Amino acid sequence: MNTPLTLLNNLTPSQFLSEYWQKKPLLIKAAMPNFSGLLTPNELAGLACEDAVQSRLIMQKNLKWRVQQGPFDDEDFANLPEKNWTLLVQSVNHHLPEAANLLSMFDFIPHARLDDLMVSYAPDGGGVGPHFDSYDVFLLQGSGKRLWRVSSQQDLTLVKDAPLRILQHFNAEQEWLLEAGDMLYLPPHIAHWGVAVGDDCMTYSIGFRAPKHQELASEFLNYMQDKVKLDGMYADADLTLQNHPAEISSAMTTKVNAVLAQIKWNVQDVEQFLGMYISEPNQEVIFEPPKKLNLTVFDRHIAEQGIALDLKSQMLFLQQSDQTQFFVNGETICFNGKNAELLKNLADKRTLAPQKIDDVVLLKQLLDWYSLGYLSFDR
């Protein structure tokens, strides 16, 4: 079984975070020595044909790039050239339990930072061109080989009007040939270019989200709309005659500024926002409610089978002084004591072992989440 030490080239997770995380690349040969992938090229293509799966075909010809969005069909794949194309499938962990298990090996990074597992397939020469990412990524090689060229260049100018974020200039400083089980860690804004060497090259990209400051600000202000309550209305009993009726006076600006200055927030507001924002699923995510169960049958199933988060679910928690606040797919609820410890375990491990749930309030909450499709017995 692989451990963080194997994954990280015999570094402890603490050493990796201190020396490499968001600082510099790390090549890890034989990070997963027996790893050759989680699915075949045909299985990946099958996923790309499903409506609920995000996928892209990227092709290069005569120095021109073309991108086609999925879902695809058999004819799309039959008409592809022999070389120089790539199939990308996003969020494979939402559809494949083995992919979710792979992500669990990266638990030394908080779940709040995890984005998804993207899997790519390419024949010889396939790739997506020289580019940079705005997030941290581990590039784990499955079947085949891929040559990675890496640069710490400061020039990140992009090719104009290209359908992809292709770098206009790329000056490779290092290059490595990755084979099955090898892995490359890249921090944000490191320029890189991966090219398939030979056929059936499959790469597993474990990405960690890093929202832009502007995105955080916009989403937080949206969240605060429902929190802000200001009494009263604009009043100007002291209004004086203006020389220009179309002019916005300094007096009006001062009054409105004083009203807006009443908008305040504290660290608790930020905590609440983060939990809801980070756990909120993407718009493309759809939960499928299962067959309804009554409380007695549900209780028996947990005792016999245990239960797990659905592959698409995100569950986080915030420890407070007297209770623990849990965030599940953008929804929030608080528990304390033994119940909180049980739910923390579910959030950390994404699964609960078979056990008897003694507290009916907790049992009903679990049933509610199950009925929404947030929990599953399938794991």
How do residues 330-379 score in pLDDT, each as one tens digit? 999 999 999 999 999 999 999 999 999 999 999 999 999 999 999 999 76
**Token pair listed for 288:** 């499928």
Coil, helix or strand for 104? helix
Indicate left, alpha or beta for 134 from its phi (over 0: left) and psi (-120 to 50: alpha).
alpha
Q: Are 143 and 201 in contact (CB under 8 A)?
A: yes
pLDDT value of position 9: 83
Cα separation, 166 vs 119, in Å, equals 20
Quote the mean pLDDT of the chain.
95
Is pLDDT at 311 greater than 80 in this prediction?
yes
Report the number of secondary-structure helices (H) and strands (E) in the chain: 11, 17
- Percent above pLDDT 90 for the chain: 93
Q: Are 369 and 350 in contact (CB under 8 A)?
A: no
| Residues 97-133: b if buried by 16+ CB within 10 A, e if exposed | eebbebbebbeebebeebbbbbbbbbbbbbbbbbbbb
Q: What is the DSSP letter of 159?
A: P
**Model pLDDT for residues 211-242, shown as the tens digit of each residue:** 999 999 999 999 999 899 999 999 999 999 99
Mean predicted confidence (pLDDT) in 88-95: 97
pLDDT value of position 97: 94
Q: Are 354 and 306 in contact (CB under 8 A)?
A: yes
354 cis-preceded (ω within 30 degrees of 0): no
Could you give all domains of the chain from N- to C-terminal order, each with its CATH number?
Answer: 4-208 (2.60.120.650), 213-279 (no CATH), 295-376 (3.40.366.30)
Query: What CA–CA distances, in Å, run from 29 to 101, 120, 139, 177, 194?
Result: 21, 20, 12, 10, 16
pLDDT value of position 2: 56
Element (H, E) at 186: strand 183-186
pLDDT value of position 298: 97
Is pLDDT at 1 greater than 50 in this prediction?
no
**Model pLDDT for residues 254-298, shown as the tens digit of each residue:** 999 999 999 999 999 999 999 999 999 998 899 999 999 999 999
| DSSP, residue by residue, 236-278 | -TT----S-TT---HHHHHHHHHHHTT----HHHHHHHHHHHH
Q: Which residues are within 8 A (CB) of 256 and not within 5 positions of it... i.e. 6 or more apart?
A: 234
Looking at this protein, which amino acid is placed at residue 345? N
Mean predicted confidence (pLDDT) in 112-123: 97
Q: Are 98 and 38 in contact (CB under 8 A)?
A: yes
**Token pair listed for 327:** 């965030």
Q: Are 17 and 108 in contact (CB under 8 A)?
A: yes
**Token pair listed for 96:** 């494949």
